[in-house]
């Protein structure tokens, strides 16, 4: 089998997003640690990449050079990636419940050495876009049309290395490289705007010579349209500033708990049930 | 007296020049090799390769963090990236990128640090890589290579490019004595005995190998028979050669152009402590930064001389 994309219809895609959210809640509660809210904000984008007709992959041959690459630079949100990989057929759904447990390749942050299909070992913020640029340059040298998608967090944009990579990608006009900033508005200790405000991201990234779009990143239609546009740009790298909500899908619960950031903590068994009920 | 003169060696090319020549030569038969440069290619000598293979060369600007992670991505897509910068900027500025984008995933990236040691001279301490070997050796799975002369550097470059896994190659700026005038049978992790001896063993790498050979001449004149080993690979270290030296001679002196902590001396001492305790002496930069000055004057001032090795060896035997 060769690499191929999977394109679900809109309703099926929405169902798949719900499934990913259920996985994220269940696996982090089972692990009793992890970053469910950081994962939930990114669901629509990851879901559209894996099931909306974008990532050309072959789970049976995860290293096929012809594949597209998705690098989760905000590695702490890896539950969303594991959920999508499992749904895509990389491993059985039961394995999701081994998250963060001794012996499991589903580590707390992505480890490419232990889990085939993971494109980069991340968790030290700021490196994913550079790694993605390396993949994009390799594709250019080889004449492959592989597309490389890299997702960073908005807090992660404080890392200077990301801007080094933005500048270098502009130099090499890597149109096969797309940066998605999951702008969920929060980082570890508070609102990103209070900690270190680097907005407006689109203006700043655009000033380096990138094509940019700013979208509502929890809106499936907007995500699909933006990914389509990004593939159509042929002369420069593209960025999608994806304005999302941290914990999207269980926001009423976070409001009730009085913590809209809810960074780096899993839901209790009790809250898990409430969250799953909210997701429907 | 020039380094190596006492042992009859003639001045040869700098190790960085030998690396650059070998890289450009080998590039033709190794199509997966690419060069990623942070705008110092004319210093690190990746320039001849980049002129010959512009489509396989990327000057990403003065940005070492990006440099190393880009190489990680290239390697993950099947390339053999050679990443060259000054030893200090590569190892110290981009250490976390080396850890996370290269060593932890075990990617086939060839790290090359030039301008290592204090023998770069006038540019001064900010440009001197004297902690790079220690940093490199703490990275699991990274082979750390410190060649002594031009011929062994060429052989090391070929070995590095055919090795499957991350490597760090340490190069110097000045011209150094030619030791392997009849070619070098180089294998990563296997040291080379340059001179046999029964009283004491001198283990060195880089520029200090020629000084160890000079010291062996001095010691011979004093009636002391010194074995000289070129320990070009610091990690993985050649345990067998060290254990043999510890058992067959009465002491080991380790000489390196590096800080005292974490370099070749530490690596050798760990082996002797575990397997074959023996008297040891250490010749290195010590626990200090150096200063600007002419290379020979610096080596003299900071105690990196054949005489320092001779004194350390004689001292061990008189204890």
**CATH for B108:** 3.40.50.970
pLDDT of residue B319: 79
- Statement to judge: residues B169 and B212 lie in one domain: no
Domain's final residue, options B177, B212, B237: B177
C-beta atoms of A171 and B61 within 8 A: yes
Contact B76 A165 (CB under 8 A): no
User: Which residue in B21, B32, B55, B64 is the catalytic one?
Assistant: B64
Assess B69–A contact: CB distance below 8 Å, yes or no.
yes
3-state class (DSSP) for residue B252? strand
Interatomic CA distance for residues B88 and B116, integer angstroms: 7
Kindly state whether residues B215 and B249 are assigned to the same domain.
yes
Q: Is B106 on the interface with A (CB under 8 A)?
A: yes
Cα nearest neighbour of B53 on chain A? A141
CA-nearest residue to B74 within chain A is: A134
Average pLDDT (B135-163) is 98
Better-scored residue on pLDDT, A1 or A126: A126
Indicate whether B166 and B197 sit together in one domain.
Answer: no
Residues B113 and B171 sit within 8 Å (Cβ to Cβ): yes
Helix (H, G, I), strand (E, B) or coil at A183: strand
Q: Please report the pLDDT score of residue A71 as a whole number.
A: 98
3 state DSSP class of B163: coil
pLDDT of A66-116, one tens digit each? 999 999 999 999 999 999 999 999 999 999 999 999 999 999 999 999 999
> What pLDDT does residue B251 have?
98
B310 and B172 both lie in a single domain: no
Do the bridges between strand A177-183 and strand B192-195 make them parallel or antiparallel, or are there none, so unpaired?
unpaired
Query: How far is CA A217 from each of CA A46, A71, A244, A275, rounded to the nearest angstrom?
Result: 10, 17, 5, 21
b or e along A228-265 (b: 16 or more beta carbons within 10 Å of the residue's beta carbon)?
Answer: eebeeeeebbbbbbbbbbbbbbbeebbeebeeebbbeb
Question: Using 50, 70 and 90 to split pLDDT, how confident is the model at B260?
Answer: very high
The answer to whether the CB atoms of A127 and B77 lie below 8 A apart is no
Quote ipTM for the complex. 0.96
Q: Please name the residue that has the structure tokens 């930064």.
A: B289
| Residue B183 resides in a domain | no
Active site residue B25: no
Statement to judge: residues B106 and B222 lie in one domain: no
Q: Using an 8 Å Cβ cutoff, are A5 and A66 in contact?
A: no
User: Is residue B139 helix, strand or coil?
Assistant: coil
Same domain membership, residue B198 and residue B120: no
pLDDT given for residue B172 in this prediction: 97
Domain count across chain B: 2
pLDDT digits (tens, 9 = 90+) for B170-228: 999 999 999 999 999 999 999 999 999 999 999 999 999 999 999 999 999 999 999 99
* Cβ of residue B66 closer than 8 Å to a chain A Cβ: yes
Residues of chain A with pLDDT > 70, as a percent, come to 100
Chain A neighbors of B78, CB-CB under 8 A: 65, 138, 142
Residues B198, B170 share a domain: no
Same domain, B54 and B144: yes
Provide mean pLDDT across the span A202-210. 98
Is residue B78 included in any domain, yes or no? yes
Q: B126 and B247, same structural domain?
A: no
**What's the DSSP call for residue B249?**
S
The more confident residue out of B85 and A1 is B85
Q: Are residue B54 and residue B105 in the same domain, yes or no?
A: yes
Average pLDDT over residues A123-150: 98
Burial of B144 (C-beta count, 10 Å sphere; 0-12/13-18/19+) = buried
Sequence ranges of the domains in chain A: 10-279
The pLDDT value recorded for residue B1 is: 78
Mean pLDDT of A221-247: 98
B58 and B147 fall within a common domain: yes
Q: Within a domain: residue B207?
A: yes
Please identify, among B146, B177, B208, the residue that sits at the C-terminal boundary of a domain: B177
Provide the pLDDT for residue A218. 98
A125: preceding bond cis by omega (within 30 degrees): no
Residue B45 lies in a domain: yes
Contacts of A167 in chain B (CB under 8 A): 61, 63
Cα torsion B50, B53, B59, B64: sign: negative
* Closest CA of chain A from B245, distance in Å: 38
Say which CATH topology domain A10-279 has. Rossmann fold (3.40.50)
Task: Find the CATH number of the domain harbouring B220.
Answer: 3.40.50.920
Owning domain of residue B137: 11-177
Q: Tell me if B185 is assigned to some domain.
A: no
Q: For B87-143, what is each residue's pLDDT tens digit?
A: 999 999 999 999 999 999 999 999 999 999 999 999 999 999 999 999 999 999 999
């Amino acid at each position: 089998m060769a690499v191929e994309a999977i394109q679900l219809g809109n309703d099926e895609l929405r169902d798949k997003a719900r499934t990913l959210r259920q996985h994220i809640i269940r696996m982090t509660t089972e692990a009793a640690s992890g970053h469910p809210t950081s994962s939930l904000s990114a669901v629509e984008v990851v879901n559209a990449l894996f099931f909306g007709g974008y990532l050309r992959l072959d789970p049976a041959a995860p290293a096929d050079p012809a594949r597209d690459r998705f690098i989760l630079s905000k590695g702490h949100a890896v539950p969303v990636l594991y959920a999508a990989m499992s749904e895509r057929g990389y491993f059985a759904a039961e394995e999701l419940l081994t998250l963060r447990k001794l012996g499991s390749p589903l580590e707390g942050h992505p480890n490419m050495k232990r889990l085939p299909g993971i494109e980069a070992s991340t968790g030290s913020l700021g490196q994913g876009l550079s790694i993605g640029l390396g993949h994009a340059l390799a594709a250019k040298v080889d004449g492959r049309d592989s597309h490389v998608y890299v997702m960073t967090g908005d807090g992660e944009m404080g890392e200077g290395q990301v801007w080094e990579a933005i500048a270098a990608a502009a130099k090499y006009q890597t149109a096969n490289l797309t940066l998605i900033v999951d702008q969920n508005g929060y980082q570890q200790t508070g609102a990103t705007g209070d900690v270190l405000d680097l907005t407006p991201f689109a203006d700043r990234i655009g000033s380096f010579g990138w094509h940019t779009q700013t979208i509502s990143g929890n809106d499936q239609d907007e995500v699909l349209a933006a990914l389509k546009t990004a593939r159509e740009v042929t002369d420069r790298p593209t960025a999608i500033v994806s304005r999302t909500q941290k914990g999207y899908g269980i926001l009423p619960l976070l409001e009730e708990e009085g913590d809209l950031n809810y960074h780096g903590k899993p839901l209790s068994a009790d809250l898990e049930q409430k969250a799953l009920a909210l997701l429907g | 007296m020039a380094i190596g003169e006492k042992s009859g060696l003639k001045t040869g090319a700098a190790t960085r020049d030998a690396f650059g020549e070998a890289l450009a030569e080998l590039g033709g038969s190794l199509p997966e090799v690419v060069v990623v440069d942070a705008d110092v290619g004319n210093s690190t000598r990746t320039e001849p390769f980049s002129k010959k293979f512009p489509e396989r060369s990327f000057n990403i600007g003065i940005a070492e963090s990006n440099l190393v992670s880009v190489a990680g991505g290239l390697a993950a897509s099947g390339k053999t990236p050679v990443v060259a910068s000054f030893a200090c900027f590569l190892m110290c500025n981009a250490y976390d990128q080396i850890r996370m984008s290269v060593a932890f995933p075990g990617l086939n990236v060839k790290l090359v640090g030039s301008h290592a040691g204090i023998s770069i001279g006038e540019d001064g301490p900010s440009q001197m890589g004297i902690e790079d070997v220690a940093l490199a050796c703490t990275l699991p799975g990274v082979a750390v290579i410190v060649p002594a002369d031009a011929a062994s550097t060429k052989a090391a470059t070929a070995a590095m490019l055919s090795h499957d896994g991350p490597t760090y190659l340490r190069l110097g700026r000045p011209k150094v004595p030619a030791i392997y005038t009849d070619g070098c049978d180089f294998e990563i992790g296997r040291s080379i005995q340059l001179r046999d001896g029964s009283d004491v063993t001198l283990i060195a790498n880089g520029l200090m190998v020629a000084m160890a050979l000079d010291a062996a001449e001095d010691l011979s004149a004093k009636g002391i028979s010194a074995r000289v080993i070129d320990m070009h690979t610091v990690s993985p270290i050649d345990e067998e050669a060290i254990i043999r030296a510890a058992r067959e001679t009465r002491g080991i002196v380790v000489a390196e152009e590096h800080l005292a902590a974490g370099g070749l001396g530490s690596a050798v001492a760990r082996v002797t402590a575990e397997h074959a305790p023996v008297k040891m002496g250490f010749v290195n930069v010590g626990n200090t930064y150096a200063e600007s000055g002419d290379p020979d004057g610096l080596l003299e001032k900071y105690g990196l001389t054949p005489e320092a090795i001779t004194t350390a060896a004689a001292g061990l035997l008189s204890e």
